């Protein structure tokens, strides 16, 4: 479905709560649903009588017939004409509605001004008929009045003033009349309660929306904090005056800028506890919320108040005022915050009370968080879209437990986890909770399609045990050490327990964290994702029998006890059945894949041009990609010991951490090898442009090699051993050359000298990955597997 959000773009342009609502809703629909959402904005001036009227008329004439659904949130955008129009009201032009009385101007137009065209205009408005015919007549009369405005007293065109107020009230009543609007919604009960905001006797839904900032945290309780535009309706001056009666040593941190900034700084200059922070990044704002004792929020009759939501999402009590409007829908006195009368004395009393009873702040913060935790873009979208159109549903929550970060994806395992789960996140709520090496930093990221990844470093005691095992065995045992020692990383285990509370599906990516199964809830679906047959992969280089038994046992338990087992190849499925006596009906093949949109077919002419640029136009360049895993080291040793001596006419380009592994295990690489080590995906693709042939001389391993799919997706002809081709439906000499390792040298010569064969392998290899091994295809099949099972 094609959805349009219609909104005004103010002149001069500023960013406020309205813009954040539009951006957040548009992003959610486009990123998390199968629908398309466009934000359509027209520059809107509301600085004088005629600019405002012209803005209303422009929206009325806007053609939106190419959209299936239209959403508007404020004036004058809701003047648009569409048969499926939803109003999600933020507010009217408040200076002509609920705050008009502050100008001390008359409501009615003075009688002496109601003459000629003005009288005709007033007659149409007073008729109470909101037909298109009446509106067209009114527009024509206003156009005539504009051309003759010099014939009328200037007082008629006061802005604000009674005449423009009367016209805008009519425009809004026309725009919001029940025969034009499919459904009415509002951002708060406070907006609904205002006089003349909605037609009488219509049903209105309140839909609270979140902030654009997310991942709020609660760390300490150190200071008072507010963030706001520094202008009079926000009443920052009351905070400054109230702090004069607070004797305690507590800082008040004020973030934001605005027209009253200089005056406020003058008022606060004698109080060193008050600090103005200016404009801040989202990261800085999130951190300031996380360490606040309480959040102060003192606007006058705010429509909604995102600061309240942000503070409560950070598990902080909010101090607000009895006339602050929308914040009072969330702040309950002494439960989720404190409510004061709008004067410095009352405010200082409440602040002193909280400072003298600091233990109340965490308790109120927990209560505050509980009442806003359901406010999400998912809920906004599902509640807002017209209920007869079944497009949104609550997403099933998936928790993935992994022993490494998936982003940025570099190795094969990272590629699989990132690509598979970021695509699944289009229809599921997916969080990857990863334990990472002790020397790496904590991460909390929102990735593609809303995929969430939290990475927590292992504890020092956990790492020490791992290092001792590695010293004894002489091999890397980072993942294996998780089996019996993950509980030493209590921060990670605590976070896993937290996520498990509301997860529907738990996926163990690799078997090494399966010892955490004891924390699963009874009704949770458990899945073991076998990237490889781990026992077979490890037994060739882990020589410690006790460790091998632990790997066998944990993998056996994961295969037998979980509800589903996912494997990357039919060979692995057969091995799991053979070794662990698993039920074949519970094992599903979800192969490895490739992002065919980012790794595109490289034309032959581009390859020739790139080789010429680097000064190697006639030298055969043979590509090998590998991570630090022992099977890749074994392959690289074969290249060094067997291929280079036979193929001195070639250069061998090696990409990946296998280069570092080789340096550590075997020493310096020969000059015939161009070693690039670990590179980004973009850099790797650029290097692919230099390769004439890719090789995969694998002798051991399990699962499938993602590098094979990369090679074929990029249109690089491939020579591989049978082991290297495992799990991929390759036909020899159609998609790639499959041969024993000892024949690879001769096959390089044969393939390099046969351009027709090269073209055949390039085309067929690319076609194969597009048809069967693109991540989109694989993720769609995985998605359906989950839905069928759930």
**212 within a domain of the structure (yes/no):** no
Tell whether 379 is covered by a domain: no
Residue 612 domain boundaries: 604-773
pLDDT at residue 568 tops 80? yes
Q: 419-443 pLDDT, tens per residue?
A: 899 888 877 889 999 999 998 888 8
Minimal CA–CA distance to 82: which of 294, 386, 439, 381?
386
CB atoms within 10 A of CB 609: 12
Give the tens place of pLDDT for each residue, 347-358.
999 999 999 999
CATH code assigned at 741? 3.40.50.2000
Residue 410: pLDDT band (50, 70, 90) is confident
Does any domain span residue 378? Answer: no
Rounded distance between C-alpha atoms, residue 737 and residue 744, angstroms: 9
Alpha-carbon Rg for the chain, nearest whole angstrom, is: 33
Over range 238-244, report the average pLDDT.
Answer: 95
User: Which DSSP symbol is given to 201?
Assistant: T
Shared-domain flag, residues 575 and 608: no
Residue 224 φ then ψ, to 5°? -90, 140
Query: Does some domain include residue 324?
Result: yes
Residues 646 and 728 placed together within one structural domain of the fold: yes
pLDDT of residue 493: 96
Q: Measuring CA to CA, which residue among 614, 624, 611, 773 is closest to residue 694?
A: 624
585 and 609 co-located in one domain: no
Q: Of 316, 339, 372, which closes a domain?
A: 372
pLDDT of residue 539: 86
Whether omega for the bond prior to residue 12 falls within 30 degrees of 0, making it cis, is: yes
pLDDT at residue 582, as a whole number: 92
- Residue where a domain stops, chosen among 554, 589, 624: 589
**Tokens standing for 440?**
């790496």
Contact 725, 708 (CB under 8 A): yes
What interhelical angle do 744-752 and 755-772 show, nearest 10? 100
**Rounded Cα distance, 37 and 173, in Å:** 27
- Averaged pLDDT of the chain: 91
Q: Do 522 and 626 sit in the same domain of this protein?
A: no
Distance CA 599, CA 63 (A): 40
Q: Check residue 746 and give its pLDDT.
A: 96
Instruction: Give the number of other CB atoms < 10 A from CB of residue 190.
Output: 21
Q: Would 240 be classed as within a structural domain? A: yes
- The angle subtended at Cα 367 by Cα 365 and Cα 369, nearest 5°, is 70
Same domain, 454 and 567: yes
Higher pLDDT, 446 or 721: 721
- CA pair distance 43, 422, nearest whole angstrom: 36
How many helices and strands (H and E) does the chain possess?
Answer: 29, 26
Residue 769 CA to residue 185 CA, distance in Å, equals 47
Edge-to-edge strands, sheet with 443-446: 443-446, 452-457, 429-436, 397-402, 505-509, 525-530, 564-567, 587-589
Element (H, E) at 606: helix 604-613
Same-domain status, 425 and 540: yes
Choosing from 356, 372, 388, the residue where a domain stops is 372
- pLDDT above 50 (res 205): yes
Does the pLDDT value for residue 326 go beyond 80? yes
Quick check: bond before 408 cis, omega within 30?
yes
C-alpha span between 50 and 520 (Å, rounded): 65
Distance CA 228, CA 439 (A): 38
- Among 170-179, 312-321, 545-554, 662-671, where is mean pLDDT lowest? 662-671
Confidence tier at 703 by pLDDT (50, 70, 90): low
Structure confidence by residue, pLDDT tens digits, 490-501: 999 999 999 999
Average pLDDT over residues 727-750: 95
H or E stretch at 183: strand 183-186
Cβ atoms within 10 Å, residue 150:
6
DSSP 8-state symbol, 764: H
**Number of folded domains that form the chain:** 4
Whether residues 610 and 735 share a domain: the answer is yes
Under the banding of pLDDT at 50, 70 and 90, the label for residue 390 is: very low
**In this structure, are 27 and 162 located in the same domain?**
yes
Question: What pLDDT does 522 receive?
Answer: 82
Asked if 3 and 38 touch (Cβ cutoff 8 Å), the reply is yes
What is the pLDDT, as a whole number, of residue 393?
A: 39
| Residue that the structure tokens 């996912």 belong to | 566
Task: Give the C-alpha separation, 84 to 88, whole Å.
Answer: 13
Segment of 71-75, 373-377, 542-546 carrying the highest mean pLDDT: 71-75
Q: Is residue 786 part of a domain?
A: no
pLDDT value at position 452? 87
Q: Tell me if 778 is assigned to some domain.
A: no
% of the chain beyond a pLDDT of 90? 72
Q: Does 216 reside within a domain?
A: no
State the Cα–Cα distance between residues 785 and 790, nearest whole angstrom. Answer: 9
718 and 650 in a single domain? The answer is yes
DSSP codes joined into one string, 102-165: GG---SSPPGGG--HHHHHHHHHHHTT---HHHHHHHHHHHHHHHHTGGGS-GGGG-SSSHHHH
Residue 426 and residue 366 share a domain: no
Confidence of residue 123 (pLDDT cuts 50, 70, 90): very high
DSSP H or E stretch at residue 337 = strand 337-340
Kindly state the average pLDDT of the residues 625-650.
Answer: 91
CB contact set of 61 (below 8 Å; sequence gap of 6+): none
The DSSP bridge partners found for residue 5 are 39, 71
Nearby residues of 272 by Cβ (< 8 Å), 6 or more positions away: none
What pLDDT, on a 0 to 100 scale, did the predictor assign at position 394? 55
Q: What is the mean pLDDT of residues 554-558?
A: 96
Does residue 737 sit in the same domain as residue 763? yes
Identify the band that residue 391 occupies on the pLDDT scale cut at 50, 70 and 90: very low
Share of the chain above pLDDT 70, in %: 98
Least confident range from 2-16, 273-287, 328-342: namely 2-16
193 and 238, same domain (yes or no): no
Closest CA to 705 of 407, 409, 412, 509: 412
pLDDT in tens, 256-301: 999 999 999 999 999 999 999 999 998 899 999 999 999 999 999 9
Q: Which H, E and C letters describe 429-443, residue by residue?
A: EEEEEEEECCCCCCE
Location of structure tokens 């902030």: 211
């Amino acid at each position: 479905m094609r959805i349009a959000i219609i909104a005004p773009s103010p002149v001069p342009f500023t960013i406020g709560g309205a813009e954040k609502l539009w951006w957040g809703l548009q992003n959610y629909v486009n990123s998390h649903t199968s629908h398309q959402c466009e934000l359509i904005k027209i520059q809107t001036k509301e600085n004088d009588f005629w600019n405002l009227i012209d803005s209303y008329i422009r929206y009325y004439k806007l053609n939106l017939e190419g959209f299936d659904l239209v959403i508007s949130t404020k004036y004058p955008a809701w003047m648009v004409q569409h048969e499926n129009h939803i109003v999600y009201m933020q507010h009217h032009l408040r200076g002509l509605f609920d705050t008009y009385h502050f100008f001390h101007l008359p409501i009615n137009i003075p009688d002496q001004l109601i003459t000629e065209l003005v009288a005709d205009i007033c007659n149409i408005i007073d008729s109470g008929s909101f037909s298109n015919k009446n509106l067209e007549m009114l527009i024509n009369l206003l156009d005539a009045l504009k051309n003759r405005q010099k014939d009328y007293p200037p007082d008629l065109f006061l802005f604000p003033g009674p005449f423009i107020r009367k016209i805008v009230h009519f425009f809004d009543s026309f725009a919001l009349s029940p025969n034009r609007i499919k459904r009415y919604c509002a951002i708060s009960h406070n907006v609904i309660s205002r006089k003349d905001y909605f037609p009488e006797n219509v049903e209105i839904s309140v839909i609270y929306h979140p902030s654009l900032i997310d991942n709020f945290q609660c760390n300490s309780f150190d200071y008072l904090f507010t963030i706001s535009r520094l202008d009079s309706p926000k009443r920052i001056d009351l905070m400054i005056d109230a702090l004069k009666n607070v004797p305690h040593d507590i800082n008040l941190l004020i973030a934001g800028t605005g027209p009253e900034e200089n005056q406020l700084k003058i008022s606060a200059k004698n109080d060193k506890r008050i600090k103005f922070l200016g404009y801040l990044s989202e990261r800085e704002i999130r951190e300031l919320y996380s360490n606040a004792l309480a959040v102060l929020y003192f606007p006058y009759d705010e429509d909604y108040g995102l600061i309240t939501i942000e503070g409560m999402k950070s598990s902080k009590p909010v101090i607000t005022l009895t006339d602050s409007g929308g914040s009072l829908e969330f702040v309950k006195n002494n439960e989720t915050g404190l409510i004061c009368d709008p004067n410095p004395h009352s405010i200082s009393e409440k602040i002193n009370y909280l400072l003298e009873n600091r233990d109340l702040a965490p308790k109120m913060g927990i209560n505050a968080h509980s009442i806003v935790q359901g406010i999400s873009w998912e809920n906004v979208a599902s509640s807002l879209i017209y209920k007869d159109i079944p497009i949104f549903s609550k997403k099933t929550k998936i928790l993935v437990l992994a022993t490494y970060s998936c982003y940025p994806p570099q190795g094969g395992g990272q590629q699989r986890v990132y690509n598979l789960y970021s695509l699944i996140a289009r229809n599921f709520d997916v969080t990857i909770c990863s334990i990472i090496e002790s020397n790496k930093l904590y991460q909390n990221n929102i990735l593609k399609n809303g995929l969430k990844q939290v990475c927590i470093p292992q504890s020092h005691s956990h790492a020490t045990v791992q290092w001792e095992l590695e010293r004894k065995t002489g091999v890397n045992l980072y993942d294996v050490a998780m089996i019996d020692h993950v509980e030493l990383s209590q921060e990670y285990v605590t976070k896993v327990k937290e996520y498990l509370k509301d997860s529907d599906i738990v996926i163990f990516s690799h078997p090494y964290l399966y010892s955490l199964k004891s924390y699963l809830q009874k009704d949770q679906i458990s899945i073991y994702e076998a990237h490889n047959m781990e026992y077979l992969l490890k037994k060739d280089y882990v020589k410690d029998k006790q460790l091998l038994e632990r790997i066998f046992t944990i993998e056996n338990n994961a295969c037998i006890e979980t509800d589903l087992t996912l494997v990357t190849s039919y060979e692995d499925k057969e091995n799991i059945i053979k070794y662990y006596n698993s039920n074949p009906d519970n094992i599903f093949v979800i192969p490895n894949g490739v992002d065919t949109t980012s790794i595109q077919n490289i034309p032959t002419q581009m390859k020739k041009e790139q080789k010429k640029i680097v000064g190697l136009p006639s030298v055969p360049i043979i590509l090998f990609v590998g991570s630090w895993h022992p099977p890749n080291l074994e392959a690289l040793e074969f290249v060094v010991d067997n291929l280079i001596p036979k193929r001195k006419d070639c250069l061998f380009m090696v990409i990946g951490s296998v280069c570092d592994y080789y340096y550590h295990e075997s020493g310096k690489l020969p000059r015939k090898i161009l070693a690039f080590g670990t590179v980004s995906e973009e850099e790797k693709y650029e290097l692919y442009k230099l390769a004439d042939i890719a090789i995969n001389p694998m002798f051991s391993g399990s699962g499938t090699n993602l590098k094979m799919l990369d090679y074929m997706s990029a249109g690089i002809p491939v020579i591989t051993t049978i082991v290297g081709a495992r799990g991929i439906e390759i036909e020899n000499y159609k998609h790639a050359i499959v041969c024993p390792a000892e024949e690879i040298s001769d096959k390089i010569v044969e393939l390099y000298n046969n351009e027709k064969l090269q073209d055949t392998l390039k085309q067929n290899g690319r076609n194969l990955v597009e048809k069967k091994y693109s991540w989109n295809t694989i993720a769609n099949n995985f998605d359906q597997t989950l839905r069928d099972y759930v």
